Amino acid sequence: MGILCLFGGTFNPVHNGHLAAARQAAARLYAEEIVFIPARVPPHKDTGNLASAHHRLAMLHLALAGVAAWSCSDIEIPRPPPSYTIDTVRAFRASHPQAVLNFLTGTDALRHLHLWKEIGALVRECTLVLLARPGFTPAIPPALAAVLTPDDTMRLTAAMLPIATPDISATRVRAMIRAGEDTTGLVPPPVADYIRTHRLYT
């Protein structure tokens, strides 16, 4: 097994920004496989507009269809909530002991990384890759630096990966759906069809 990237998030819903980020990360990190992992219940996010894990997993399957090196995993869905990244990384480490393991997330996670379960262990057990949009200045918040060793802080800073992605957010997509606006170009067409069929986010 070579380089494996785990892409965690709520994917509420998965959109073209997620897919663009995955493509760029795969190219930059020489990843042989990317596994998208929807959280059942994220511990540090507002879950008021969270579609069920079943729906979010189904939308990921539709979005990733036809891309041989991409897949999605339901590993966090059967677990009692909330979903902890360190538990997921350790499970993949056990099942892929020879892999170079990366975990992808956005730089917006920096605001609450200090609250993540065993964040120091997570930084050491995988490469925690923070996907940074253009204009982002790499900086570790004081609250996070306070719970990491200097070596862990250096490791996390070095793993920030600048990427250029469309200016799309799941929050914006959900707001547009509630307002009855057209989301063409923001989400894959099969995902848009699924959202309409199941009347999600209305």
Per-residue pLDDT of the chain (202 residues; tens, 9 = 90+): 699 999 999 999 999 999 999 999 999 999 999 999 999 887 766 666 899 999 999 999 999 998 989 999 999 999 988 889 999 999 999 999 999 999 999 888 888 999 999 999 999 999 999 998 777 777 899 999 999 999 999 999 999 999 988 889 999 999 999 999 999 999 999 999 999 999 999 9
Q: Dihedral of the CA atoms 68, 35, 175, 189 (nearest 10)?
A: 10
Measuring CA to CA, which residue among 88, 138, 32 is closest to residue 129? 138
Q: Listing from the earlier edge strand, what are the strands of the sheet with 3-9?
A: 70-72, 33-38, 3-9, 100-106, 127-132, 160-162
Q: Looking at residue 44, what is its pLDDT?
A: 63
Per-residue model confidence (pLDDT) at position 35: 98
pLDDT, position 108: 84
Contact 53, 7 (CB under 8 A): no
Q: What is the pLDDT of residue 47?
A: 60
CB 43 within 8 A of CB 10: no
- Which pLDDT belongs to residue 42? 75
Q: How far apart are the first and last CA of the chain?
A: 42
The residue type at 186? L
Cα–Cα distance, 73 to 166 (Å, whole number): 25
CA nearest to 5, candidates 84, 70, 95? 70
Domains of the chain listed by start with CATH number: 3-169 (3.40.50.620)
The packing angle between helices 53-64 and 189-198, to 10°, is: 150
